Structure 1
Amino acid sequence: MSELAGEITEDAFLGGKLRLRQPRSGHRAGHDAMLLAAATPARSGDRVVDLGAGVGAAGLAVARRVAGIRLALVEIDKGLGEFARANALGNSIAAEILLLDVTSGAESFASAGLLPDSADIVLMNPPFNDASRHRASPDKSREIAHVATAGTLDEWVHASRRILKSGGNLSLVWRADGIAEVLAALGRGFGSLTILPVHGDAAAPAIRVLVRAVKGGRAPTRLLAGLVLNGEAGSPSPYVQAILAGEDRLPLAIP
């Protein structure tokens, strides 16, 4: 099935309600994808586009939580796209799999069926590691999935802005020390931001930010109290466990 790795794992997400096959090495789905899904304010009937979907984890998790969405999984890597297709079928979730470079132009998006002003929701987990501080991986697919160029975030936000309807929602995850980059990128065409810092533990600085933005939104930015993944014992709190099990959602997912 895969050109990326000789071994494949099958992993349980959302408390076993979602099972994903993925390469043992390279880019693998984890907590970031589940938190992004839990931060996405999708409703039944929405056209939902997952940019850089990988094996489909975040988009499929949204579809498992919200029945009746119209889901498109966009991925540049053919091998990962094959995993996404198989995972959608294996979980009985209807999804389009679109092999597309997120940084390509409007014509390429339109040819794939992603027309301007056509999506209600976009979610994305772009490559966000700083190339100047990140040792290059010998696994090229892993490097592409994790390391950002200077223009990565701007290009991905631009693609999201183009395909979203006015009033549509963008949900994204980024490294916490890059919050200034997020605010700058979203300053063109987006507003009504809601920001959730994510901490590994209560004593440590945030490691991620989850952000929801509205195309054309004008409401003031809201900075929420941070989400702490692990308690003093080093294990997830009951609330985080419920989020990861798909039994609860983050405040960003509440319209």
Structure 2
Amino acid sequence: MTRAFSSEVDPGSREENASKKESPAAGITEDGFLGGQLRLRQPRSGHRAGHDAILLAAATPARPGDRVVDLGAGVGAAGLAVARRVRGIDLVLVEIDPALAELARNNAGTNAIMAEVIVLDVEAGAAAFDDSGLGPDSADVVLMNPPFNDPSRHRASPDGVRERAHVATATTLAGWVHAARRILKSNGQLALIWRADGIAEVLAALDRGFGSLEILPVHGDGTSPAIRILVRATKGGRAPTRLHAALLLNEESGVPNKWVQEVLAGKGELPLARR
């Protein structure tokens, strides 16, 4: 029996679960990520950070000194995880929801990570980005985990924040990729995660302005279709697309993949992070 993969909840290690703190009055929990190296406060219900964010962070090709922009940062999980792995980056967390942005700001402070937090709609126009200090050619690396659930197959949630964080519109991916392309420098790097059955949408969105694609399919186990794809793309890149060997979350016996567990514990990075 395989362990379920969730984009919302990070089961974490036993140590992390044991150290989880909950504040029912405020509706906030404090959860451990990266083997306890990162402590994040996040809403007890609605959109919650999980494996997707940590895998995205482990696939982000950042270097010390890079300006790294996390679009749709939520409480900051992916961006802060990158900053924990790569010291000395200039981190910017962009989030549309003011309450989540405030949690991201507090999480950065709690973890002693320098980060600028901007309240902004990723699909806003160029002028709004300029006003926020994210003008053209201003970022070295962009990472993003856009809403990717197909609305035709996803039951609507009464929680508006949760719905906005999970369900894609017809323009979501193209709009987010366009924003990334605008703020990235030439040869800048984009890292994103998307559902595997939407790979055609990803390739179409990246067709304008991006190349040198590297794709890492993520499978629950070796017998099941991929459930996610991690993608790295270069602005103006011209190298052929490269498809990496599958990342299996669980071994054939159903035991969690040891290497994946080490990555989730902050002890490694994925191939897409190397450049």
TM-score, normalised by the number of residues in structure 2 = 0.90
Q: How many pairs are equivalent?
A: 251
Offset, 1:112: 0.4
In percent, how many aligned pairs have the same letter?
Answer: 74
Give the alignment of 1:3-42 within 5 angstroms.
Answer: 6-42=26-62
| Cα deviation code 1:164-189 (max 9, x no counterpart) | 00000000000000000000000000
1:142 aligned residue (149, 162, 168): 162
For each residue in 1:112-154, what CA deviation from the matched residue of structure 2 results, as whole angstroms up to 9, or x when unmatched? 0001001000000000000111000011100000000000000
Unaligned runs of 5+ in 2: 1-24
Q: What is aligned with 2:176? A: 156
The code of the aligned residue for 2:61 comes to P
One-letter amino acid of the structure 2 residue matched with residue 97 of structure 1: V
What residue in structure 1 maps to residue 101 of structure 2?
Answer: 81
Alpha-carbon distance in structure 2 between the residues aligned to 1:144 and 1:241: 29
Does residue 211 (structure 1) correspond to residue 228 (structure 2)? The answer is: no
Residue 238 of structure 1 and its aligned partner are, at CA, apart by: 1.3
Cα deviation, 1:184-217, whole Å, max 9, x if unaligned, reads 0000000000000000111100000000000000
1:41 CA displacement: 0.5
| Cα RMSD for the two superposed structures | 0.8
Query: Residue 201 of structure 2 aligns to a residue in which SS?
Result: helix
1:7 shift after superposition: 1.4
State the Cα distance separating 1:236 from its structure 2 match.
1.9
More strand by share: 1
The match for 1:170 among 171, 190, 196 is 190
Structure 2 residue 229 is matched with structure 1 residue 243:
no
Mapping of 1:56-205 within 5 angstroms?
A: 56-205=76-225
Runs of 4+ in 1 over 4 A off after TM superposition: none
Residue type of the alignment partner of 1:179: I
- What corresponds to 2:17 in structure 1? none
Distance 1:139 1:230 in 2: 32
One-letter amino acid of the structure 2 residue matched with residue 53 of structure 1: A
Q: CA deviation at 1:242?
A: 1.0
CA distance in 1, matches of 2:57, 2:159: 26
Residues 32-85 of structure 1, C-alpha deviations (whole Å, 9 max, x = no match): 000000000000000000000000000000000000000000000011001100
SS in 2 for 1:15: helix
Instruction: For 1:222-241, list aligned pairs within 5 A.
Output: 222-241=242-261
Instruction: Extract unaligned runs of 5+ from structure 1.
Output: none
Which letter does structure 1 place at the counterpart of 2:81?
Answer: A
Aligned partner of 1:225: which letter? A
Q: Alignment partner of 1:130: what SS?
A: coil
Query: Displacement, 1:235?
Result: 3.4
What TM-score comes out, normalization by structure 1 length? 0.97
